[in-house]
Amino acid sequence: MTKARLLRLSVVLVSIFMILLIIVYWDNVGTAHFYLHTSFSRPHSPAITAGEDWEALPDVDEFLAKLLSSSLKQNSSTPRKTEQLLVQGSSKPVASNLEEKVRGYDWSTHNDRNSLDQEQVQIERQRTLREFCANSSFTFPTKGRSFDDIPNYELNHLIVDDRHGIIYCYVPKVACTNWKRVMIVLSESLLDQGIPYRNPLDIPREHVHNTSTHLTFNKFWRRYGKFSRHLMKIKLKKYTKFLFVRDPFVRLISAFRSKFELENEEFYRRFAIPMLKLYSNHTNLPSSVSEAFGAGLKVSFSDFIQYLLDPRTEKMAPFNEHWRQVYRLCHPCQIDYDFIGKLETLDEDAAYLLQLLKVDKLLRFPPSYRNRTASSWEDNWFAKIPLAWRQQLYKLYEADFVLFGYPKPENLLKD
């Protein structure tokens, strides 16, 4: 009788284990949608590909790593019909959003740098980032913590494409709308009448910024439970990770223009009304942004800077993502990024990245906006901002300037 019970118990335990194995394999890898197309060669962190030895990992990590690696071997020989699709002639889109209507697209051609120049640019950008992350004399909040110390809710900007082995950390006001569109096309995470989108500009803006459209790291816990961190680490080792950055002060100007100079109901109620009350002494403000604009009640750039510097602001809630520092969004000292793009060289960087990812035959990066906020605007925008405020603001965003190689704006920080 005892042997029969033990036998039944063993069968139950084995069945449970197999079910868990199937769930992890199927949910994480998919049927035939796991492809690794990256070809980065990095002396400081060699890319891991199917068939190569893995670095020493904890037991669970090693088990999951072997599982993912076996899937890569299985699927690497499967031909992909979509890979043979060349980019169709991009038709100029009808702007479906106020911001896109105002700014428009720049369809002019741009000369790309050659690949050798681009490779050297990436080496320099990564070297700068690694040196300052390792420099103990350069400190900023959260620098010293490990990846395991980062709360799940702070990983919500890391978008994962399992089909091509890509992780993109999006930074608002740094071409993130179009990069999200690219990720949707690559991951096939959004369908139009049952068919995946092929042209990024065909994807409506309201779908692009819908969080349910993208698989992000902060969703892993709900899918994988205790396996979530292990899977994140494996993907961070195997996948190509990239982000795009921008001069921090210019990004602030762009955020202000987008959210407070154009009618935006959400930002008016959440941010403009408190700013107008606190820093412009307005009372009895209209309930809608259209009424406020009609009455000439708009947040000034000075109000916005005061709001950023006010210590009460982050006691109430963390900075909104549109003006939160990049080091807080993307954790560049905890995540070893393979590619660092800049908005200032967007066209060249985007073309080079798509080529390295081997997806340049599938799509092209959408054109830039015509009326993009430029660094040459800084002097005019900050002209009426007191020197002390400018200096405080620089300290607030200093890590982003230093980590990503942007020069200190001395002309704004001295009399």
Summarised one tens digit per residue, pLDDT across range 102-146 is 555 444 444 555 666 999 999 999 999 999 999 999 999 999 999
Mean pLDDT of 247-259: 97
Mean pLDDT (whole number) for 318-340: 98
Residues 198 and 224 in one domain: yes
pTM of the model: 0.79
On whether residue 89 sits in a domain, the answer given is no
Residue 396 domain-assigned?
yes
Q: Give dist(CA 14, CA 37) in Å, integer.
A: 36
Q: Based on the fold, state whether residues 128 and 229 are members of the same structural domain.
A: yes
**Pairwise CA distance, residues 154 & 142, whole Å:** 12
Whether residues 221 and 119 fall in one domain: yes
Number of domains in the chain: 2
Residue 209 included in any domain: yes
Let me know whether 232 and 334 are in one domain: yes
| Per-residue pLDDT tens over the stretch 357-400 | 999 999 999 987 656 677 778 889 999 999 999 999 999 999 99
Would the pLDDT of 89 be above 50? Answer: no
Domain contains 163: yes
The one-letter code for the residue type at 213 is T
Judgement on whether residues 349 and 309 belong to the same structural domain of the protein: no
pLDDT of residue 65: 58
Q: CA 200 from chain center: how many Å?
A: 17
Residue 161 pLDDT exceeds 60: yes
pLDDT at 21 over 90: no
Among 279, 296, 316, which residue terminates a domain? 316
Q: Are strands 240-245 and 195-196 parallel, antiparallel or unpaired?
A: unpaired
Look at residue 335 and tell me whether its pLDDT is greater than 80. Answer: yes
Instruction: Transcribe 326-368 into DSSP letters.
Output: HHHHH-TTTS--SEEEEGGGHHHHHHHHHHHTT-TTT--PPPP
Q: Is residue 146 part of a domain?
A: yes
Average pLDDT score over the chain: 82
Judgement on whether residues 263 and 343 belong to the same structural domain of the protein = no
Do residues 150 and 289 share a domain?
A: no
In a domain, 87, yes or no: no
Please report where in the chains the tokens 């209209």 appear, as a residue.
286
> Has residue 204 got a pLDDT over 80?
yes
Q: Mapping DSSP to helix (H, G, I), strand (E, B) and coil, where does residue 158 land? A: strand
**Same domain membership, residue 204 and residue 337:** yes
Domain boundary among 278, 299, 316: 316
- Which tens digit of pLDDT belongs to each residue from 171-189? 999 999 999 999 999 999 9
pLDDT-based confidence at residue 20 (cuts at 50, 70, 90): low
Assess whether pLDDT exceeds 70 at residue 318. yes
Percent of the chain residues past pLDDT 70, beyond the cut: 72
- Which of residues 316, 335, 370 is at a domain's end? 316
Mean pLDDT of 284-290: 96
Expressed as residue numbers, the domain containing 302 is: 250-316
Query: Is 2 domain-assigned?
Result: no
